């Protein structure tokens, strides 16, 4: 019995170590994504960006984190205390939990489960609760309006995102993310981005909307509702929202890479596959996120809803029918 | 008992305890928003229990559909309504004569089915655990699209009718609301909105500005 208990403890500790090995680089990635965002948008707008703390401003994210850590967390007097604290936690938790099934290479994955893609969809759909709870518990009109906007937007775009992934499932005939990537083996022309191009575009844009990023950031439209659902948060509680937003961005970028851009597979057959491709492709998709923010003006709210319901959902449904029909023809191999 | 067995048993009791507590709080919580959130917790832990039963597809779908979509809309409504808590508790004794027998009936029905004669471990038997590569999703898909295809299609049609009916019942066009047709907006050409008028350049006659010094005289 003593030995058996030891085995259980060993598994638990080993799993915790693996979780830390994912979460720590992820948090570092989040920190330096904020730095990259400020630098890249700075260059795009012919500014310099942060350059004071450390060499070329490289220590800026650390300084920001420290500053937020030192600040007081103010809880508004009319707030629902328990839920006010729970809100940011519920935003960050799904953003981290989804990484449990994200593979980095064909062997480097925390949990290789059969229904991996379904798991990701289910877990990321939980994130909206944190936003709603935070907005409601703040007991503030601005926060509540921001939460309503954000929740409606997230729920709407989740449908289009789900349908886009259905196309990927049809092409790969698997829910296992590693199998989906393996289905794209054989060079850049085998990636699902080509046969599923409309779904790729829908997924990417819906991903931007899902993370409440510009040009879909009406949830925190500064000029209308100050900062939306997290207007009453300060210090580390605010920082957690911030971390969650960027962790979600990295997650959407990683999923786009895995579903449509061949994950860790090399674009040409004479170069070896590896995690470096995963990082490069995810980095490129993240760059697109920043590029969008520097380029497009914010959508109006009714335009966002129209785009989600009346444009994206019909496109995805039509393309699923096209893929399903084409698979029955002799040209079906093009869609696998 | 293998360590794996005790491990899953521990997880079962952990989840079951949370589920029962959350279920109780759904009906006892005074704040309706708290009640709705406890219902979310109940769904989530129930999904965990289904996962222990190796029904991963149903477990994840429960989270995706009920937690991710249905309860969000539920919370929306509950948060938007200004519910008077005092008013809610007023009718307790008045409705008790009706509610009591119904509750008793429900308990009786559950005892009838879950009673040890029909539902015990010796009646049901332990289902054989599946190997790690067994895909619940694939198996379910195969059953739905082969053995139960008619029932499945029927359910799909009923759901479609329900969607159409729900939209038809709630759709109303307001005459007084301002509405922009995006197609019209996109179709707009420059000439619809802007008129360039060609005019001869006319030299402005130079006015004699009276200077401060002269007017003062």
Identify the band that residue A57 occupies on the pLDDT scale cut at 50, 70 and 90.
confident
Are the C-beta atoms of A184 and A262 separated by less than 8 Å? yes
Residue A245 CA to residue A226 CA, distance in Å, equals: 17
Identify the band that residue A300 occupies on the pLDDT scale cut at 50, 70 and 90.
confident
Q: Do B182 and A175 touch (CB under 8 A)?
A: no
Per the document, the length of chain B is 217
Q: Does B58 touch chain A (CB under 8 A)?
A: no
How distant, in Å, are the alpha carbons of A50, A74, A213, A265 from that of A235? 21, 8, 21, 41
Identify the band that residue A236 occupies on the pLDDT scale cut at 50, 70 and 90.
confident
Instruction: Mutate one of B14, B31, B60, B77 to test the A interface: name it (highest A CB count within 10 A).
Output: B60
Are the C-beta atoms of A277 and A264 separated by less than 8 Å? yes
Mean pLDDT of B1-26: 83
Mean pLDDT of A113-125: 86
| Residue, of A239 and B216, whose pLDDT is higher | A239
Q: Does A9 touch chain B (CB under 8 A)?
A: no
A–B CB contacts, 8 A cutoff, strictly below = 72
Burial per residue of A260-270, b for 16 or more beta-carbon CB atoms within 10 angstroms, e otherwise: bbbbbbbbeee
Q: Does B73 touch chain A (CB under 8 A)?
A: yes
Are the C-beta atoms of A282 and A275 separated by less than 8 Å? no
Q: What's residue B164's pLDDT? A: 94
Q: Does A151 touch chain B (CB under 8 A)?
A: yes
Structure tokens at A201: 């575009």
Mean pLDDT of A29-47: 90
Mean pLDDT of A153-165: 87
Q: Which residues of B touch A144 (CB under 8 A)?
A: 79
Most confident of A6-10, A240-244, A299-303: A240-244
Residue A183 CA to residue A160 CA, distance in Å, equals: 23
Q: Do B135 and A114 touch (CB under 8 A)?
A: yes
- Nearest-CA residue of chain B relative to A2? B3
H/E/C letters for each residue in B93-107? HHHHHHHHHHHHHHH
Q: Do A115 and B67 touch (CB under 8 A)?
A: no
User: Phi then psi for A146, rounded to 5 degrees?
Assistant: -60, -40
Are the C-beta atoms of B28 and A124 separated by less than 8 Å? no
Q: Is 50 exceeded by the pLDDT of residue A191?
A: yes
Identify which of B63, B103, B96 has the alpha carbon closest to the alpha carbon of residue A128. Answer: B63
Q: How many CB atoms lie within 10 A of CB A248?
A: 24
What ipTM describes this predicted complex? 0.83
Q: What is the pLDDT of residues B49-97, one digit of tens each?
A: 998 888 888 888 888 888 888 888 888 888 887 666 667 667 778 888 8
Q: Which residues of A touch B60 (CB under 8 A)?
A: 115, 118-119, 121-122
Q: What's residue B157's pLDDT? A: 96
Query: pTM for this one?
Result: 0.84
Mean pLDDT of A185-205: 87
Q: What is the pLDDT of residues B152-190, one digit of tens each?
A: 999 999 999 999 999 899 888 777 777 777 788 888 888
Q: Do A129 and B40 touch (CB under 8 A)?
A: yes
Residue A24 CA to residue A13 CA, distance in Å, equals: 16
Residue A297 CA to residue A303 CA, distance in Å, equals: 12
Q: Is 90 exceeded by the pLDDT of residue A330?
A: no
Instruction: Mutate one of B14, B33, B36, B64 to test the A interface: name it (highest A CB count within 10 A).
Output: B64
Q: What's residue B3's pLDDT? A: 54
Identify the band that residue B216 occupies on the pLDDT scale cut at 50, 70 and 90.
very low
Q: Does B11 touch chain A (CB under 8 A)?
A: no
Q: What is the pLDDT of residues A250-277, one digit of tens each?
A: 999 999 999 898 888 888 888 888 888 8
**If you ran DSSP here, which 8-state letter would residue A336 be given?**
-
Q: Is 60 exceeded by the pLDDT of residue A2?
A: no
What is the longest distance spanned by two Cα atoms in chain A? 67
Instruction: Mutate one of A7, A85, A115 to test the B interface: name it (highest B CB count within 10 A).
Output: A115
Q: What's residue A255's pLDDT? A: 92
Q: What's residue A315's pLDDT? A: 92
Q: What's residue B148's pLDDT? A: 92
| Residue, of A235 and A4, whose pLDDT is higher | A235
Nearest to A122 among B63, B133, B180 (CB): B63
Percent of chain A residues topping a pLDDT of 70? 96
Q: Is 50 exceeded by the pLDDT of residue A134?
A: yes
Q: What is the pLDDT of residues B31-41, one digit of tens each?
A: 888 888 999 99
Q: What's residue B41's pLDDT? A: 92
Q: Do B67 and A4 touch (CB under 8 A)?
A: no
Q: Does B24 touch chain A (CB under 8 A)?
A: no
Q: What's residue B190's pLDDT? A: 85
Percent of chain B residues topping a pLDDT of 70? 84
Mean pLDDT of chain A: 85
Q: Do B76 and A7 touch (CB under 8 A)?
A: no
Residue A299 CA to residue B19 CA, distance in Å, equals: 42
Q: What is the pLDDT of residues B113-166, one digit of tens each?
A: 777 676 766 777 777 777 766 777 888 888 888 999 999 999 999 999 999 999
């Amino acid at each position: 019995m003593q030995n058996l208990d030891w085995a259980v403890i060993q598994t638990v500790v080993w799993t915790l170590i693996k979780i830390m090995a994912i979460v720590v680089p992820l948090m570092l990635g989040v920190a330096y994504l904020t730095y990259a965002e400020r630098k890249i948008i700075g260059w795009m707008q012919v500014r310099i960006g942060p350059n004071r703390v450390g060499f070329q401003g490289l220590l800026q994210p650390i300084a920001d984190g420290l500053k937020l850590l030192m600040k007081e967390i103010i809880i508004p007097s009319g707030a629902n205390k328990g839920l006010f604290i729970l809100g940011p936690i519920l935003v960050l938790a799904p953003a981290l939990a989804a990484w449990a099934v994200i593979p980095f290479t064909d062997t480097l994955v925390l949990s290789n489960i059969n229904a991996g893609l379904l798991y990701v969809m289910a877990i990321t759909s939980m994130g909206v609760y944190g936003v709603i709870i935070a907005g409601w518990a703040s007991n503030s009109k601005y926060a509540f309006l921001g939460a309503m906007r954000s929740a409606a937007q997230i729920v709407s775009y989740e449908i289009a995102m789900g349908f886009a992934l259905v196309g990927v499932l049809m092409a790969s005939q698997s829910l296992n993310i590693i199998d989906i990537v393996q289905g794209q083996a054989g060079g850049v022309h085998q990636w699902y981005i080509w046969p599923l191009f409309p779904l790729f575009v829908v997924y990417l844009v819906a991903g931007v909307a899902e993370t409440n990023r510009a040009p879909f950031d009406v949830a925190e439209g500064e000029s209308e509702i100050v900062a939306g659902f997290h207007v009453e948060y300060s210090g580390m509680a605010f920082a957690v929202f911030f971390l969650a937003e960027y962790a979600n961005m990295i997650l959407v970028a990683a999923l786009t890479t895995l579903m449509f851009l061949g994950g860790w597979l090399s674009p040409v057959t004479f170069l070896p596959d590896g995690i470096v491709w995963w990082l490069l492709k995810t980095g490129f998709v993240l760059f697109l996120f920043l590029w969008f923010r520097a380029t497009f003006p914010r959508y109006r709210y009714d335009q966002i809803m129209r785009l989600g319901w009346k444009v994206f959902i019909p496109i995805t449904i039509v393309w699923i029918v096209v893929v399903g029909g084409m698979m029955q023809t002799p040209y079906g191999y093009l869609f696998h | 008992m293998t360590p794996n067995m005790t491990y899953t048993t521990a997880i079962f009791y952990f989840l079951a305890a949370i589920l029962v507590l959350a279920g109780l709080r759904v009906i006892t919580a005074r704040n309706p928003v708290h009640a709705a959130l406890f219902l979310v917790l109940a769904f989530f832990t129930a999904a965990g229990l289904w996962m222990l039963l190796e029904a991963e597809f149903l477990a994840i779908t429960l989270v995706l559909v009920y937690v991710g979509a249905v309860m969000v809309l539920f919370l929306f409504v509950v948060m938007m309504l200004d519910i008077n808590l005092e008013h809610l508790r007023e009718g307790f004794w008045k409705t008790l004569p009706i509610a009591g027998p119904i509750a008793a009936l429900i308990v009786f029905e559950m005892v009838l089915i879950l009673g040890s004669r029909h539902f015990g471990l010796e009646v049901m038997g332990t289902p054989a655990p599946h190997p790690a590569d067994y895909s619940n999703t694939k198996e379910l898909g195969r059953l739905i699209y082969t053995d139960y295809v008619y029932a499945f299609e029927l359910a799909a049609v009923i759901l479609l009718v329900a969607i159409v009916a729900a939209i038809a019942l709630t759709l109303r066009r307001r005459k007084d609301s301002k509405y922009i047709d995006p197609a019209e907006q996109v179709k707009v050409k420059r000439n619809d909105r802007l008129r360039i008028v060609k005019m001869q350049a006319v030299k402005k006659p130079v006015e004699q500005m009276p200077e401060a010094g002269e007017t003062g005289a």
